[in-house]
Amino acid sequence: MRLCTFHLARFSKGCSRHCNRTEKEKAMPEIAIKENVLGGEQFCAMCGGFMASHLGPDLFMEGTMQLVCRDCGREYAPHLVSLLDLGASMVHSS
């Protein structure tokens, strides 16, 4: 894995904007929004943290039905988290 100096300095955060070349080489988890049909108490696939999930759109590891918590989502797929938040606010306001 090749890292730019900025990435080495910051290591896990804030790199993607600065070294696009290494972005694909990083072991970035693939996160997707899927329908959570189980709900209830789950464990995050990434950090193993306990989370109370709800029915409806949620974050999952791509290709699996393993939930990803919002903290990990914000870390690895902030755009997906904002999409979910946007969707939630639209549901509540209607």
CB of 75 to Zn ion, least distance (A): 8
Residues of span 28-57 touching Zn ion by CB under 5 A: 44, 46-47, 49
Q: Does 69 bind Zn ion (CB under 5 A)?
A: yes
Dihedral sign, Cα of residue 41, residue 82, residue 22, residue 25: positive
The stretch among 8-16, 17-25, 63-71, 86-94 that binds Zn ion (CB under 5 A) is: 63-71
The whole-angstrom separation of Cα 68 and Cα 58 is 8
Nearest 5°: CA angle at 14, between 77 and 86?
35
Report the interface residues with Zn ion, using CB under 5 A.
Answer: 44, 46-47, 49, 69, 72
